[in-house]
Amino acid sequence: MPKTTKVYIVAVVVILLIILFLPVKYPMSLTSKGKLLPHQTWILTKGLEGRLFTSLTDNLSGVSTEFSISEFERGDPVQFKLNIPTIKKNSISKGDTIGYVISTQLERELEQLKGELESTRALLKLQKSSEKESIIEEEKRKLDFAEKELEEQSKIYTRKLKLVERDLISREEFEADEARYELAKININIAKERLRTVESGAKQEEINLTNAQINALENEIKVLKTKFVNNNIISPINGVLNRLFSSDTLLMVNDTSKLLALMPVRWSDAQKLSLGQVVQISNQDVNEIISGKIIAIENSVISINNTQYLLSTVLSDEKVRELKPGLNVDCLIQCESKTAYSIVTDFFSPIFN
């Protein structure tokens, strides 16, 4: 071997040894694939028998933090209408009314209570007044109306009873008409009692009772109004509206104030992961890069195509323009810097082990 060649070899070896043992640390990184998710997801779905379901999921913890079911009584015709002006905005604010649930039975009960309240107030006025002829006539008209209503409901009830006995209508339909018939009989008794009261005059005890009835009716109306308002579907978060072409899922609101990236890392690289590491998130089809930090590393291992991975979660609170939830993204993980010697020993360690 020529002397000059030996010199070159020695020089190269010396340089490599110097580089190897220099106390200089080099930045290290890992690459992985991930999937973007919104911070929170609120979903509105419909189920059987007119039920409406809402669920709020915190994708950071993977837990449904809020869940509700809107159920309605049998035989109650219910309508659900989306709030179109709000839906058209796309951007949803917390507290926005997404839709209205209209219950025919609830509206009927509310109107009936309002009518009873008006009648009871008139009765109180009559009890305190010496001139009551016109109010007596009014109560007579109400009794006459109640009797006609009972007569009509009685005919319907009799007809439906024969049909249900022959299994020509459902039991639920019959029970709804039976309830209306019983209510009509109750209304007759109420109308008769009011007419008797206004015709005979009232004592102080009766006036006190009427005041108590007014208070009770006002409280019932307040409760029903609250129930009526609570039937409305309200968004619990700020977010972006997603319309889903599904038979059961009506819509979804994604809170994109923060984004998560679920990122599987090979088990062989697991020791290089640590909480707080900076991760750059990008997509080859989008001209945008955002940064986040690893906030969670799962304790369990998952297998994908016979390769074991450790799942970690990256949180980014940067505002995005083009990156969207649901995208598959490329993740560049900034690991701890190492010296050249550490890099070489880590590389050959699996071979010797």
Q: Which tens digits make up the pLDDT trace of 308-327?
A: 988 889 999 888 888 888 89
Classify residue 305: in a domain, yes or no: yes
Integer Cα distance of 102 and 113 in angstroms: 18
Classify residue 235: in a domain, yes or no: no
User: Bridge partners of 53?
Assistant: 45, 69
Classify residue 288: in a domain, yes or no: yes
Structure-token match 């991760």, residue found: 279
pLDDT at 351: 53
Classify residue 105: in a domain, yes or no: no
For the entire predicted model, the pTM comes to: 0.54
pLDDT at 158: 85
Classify residue 317: in a domain, yes or no: yes
Give the pLDDT band (50/70/90) at residue 225: confident
Q: HSE, CB side, 13 Å, CA atoms: give it for residue 72.
A: 24
Structure-token match 């209510």, residue found: 183
Residue 262 has pLDDT above 50, yes or no: yes
Question: Residue 310 belongs to what domain range?
Answer: 26-37+257-352
How wide is the angle at C-alpha 33 spanned by C-alphas 28 and 39, nearest 5°?
Answer: 105
Classify residue 20: in a domain, yes or no: no
CATH number at residue 333: 2.40.30.170
- CA gyration radius for the chain? 37
Classify residue 173: in a domain, yes or no: no
Tens digit of pLDDT for each residue in 132-156?
A: 566 777 778 888 888 888 888 888 8
Residue 200 has pLDDT above 80, yes or no: no
Classify residue 268: in a domain, yes or no: yes
Dihedral Cα 260, 265, 267, 273, nearest 10 deg: -70
pLDDT at 224: 73
Tokens matching residue 177 = 């008409």
Structural domain tally of the chain?
A: 1
Residue 192 has pLDDT above 70, yes or no: yes
Q: What is the rounded average pLDDT for all residues in the chain?
A: 77
Residue 1 has pLDDT above 60, yes or no: no
Quick one: how far is CA 334 from the chain centroid? 36
Residue 12 has pLDDT above 60, yes or no: no
Query: Shortest CA distance to 238 belongs to which of 41, 100, 63?
Result: 41
